[in-house]
Amino acid sequence: MDTHPQPSQAFMSALVTEHFVLQSARSTTVSAPVGRSAFYLTCVSSALVAFGFFAAAIHHLAPVVATVLPALIVLGIFTFVRMVATSVEDMVFPAAYRGDPPLLRHARPGGRRVLRIHRRH
């Protein structure tokens, strides 16, 4: 015999909605660093091509290097910091899967807890 009550339709709808929202947020968090790193690699590649064009004219190379190299370094630092931040954000979303989302607190069948709750203390 089945001793566990079946979840209500409202609970299942809330659960699927919450799961979809968390998955969407996580996919956005994963795709943002990909675009950011592609942009940075495009800038590095373009700078190397520019250095190659100016390599024949040594007297024109120094101002280009003095302008482009600091900009690449700053862009690289910002890219690295943001990628670390998004990695930390990405580690939060799996913890939200195991939690008790606020939307689901009101949709429990019979007022009982249906989801297992893992809390860090």
The pLDDT value recorded for residue 118 is 45
Task: Give the pair of three-digit tokens for residue 61.
Answer: 């190379």
Report how far residue 119's alpha carbon sits from residue 96's, in angstroms, rounded to the nearest whole number: 10
pLDDT at 22: 79
Dist. CA 62–CA 54, nearest whole Å: 9
pLDDT level of residue 117 (50, 70, 90 thresholds):
very low
Q: Is the Cβ–Cβ distance between 116 and 98 less than 8 Å?
A: yes
Buried b (16+ CB within 10 A) or exposed e, 79-94: beeebeebeeebeeee
Q: Which amino acid is at 74?
A: V
Task: Please name the residue that has the structure tokens 């302008």.
Answer: 67
The average pLDDT across 38-51 equals 94
Q: What is the pLDDT of residue 16?
A: 79
Q: What average pLDDT score do residues 16-40 get? A: 85
pLDDT tens digits, residue range 60-116?
Answer: 888 888 999 999 999 999 999 999 988 888 777 666 666 555 555 555 555 555 554
Domain ranges of the chain: 9-107
Tokens of residue 111, six digits: 């007022």
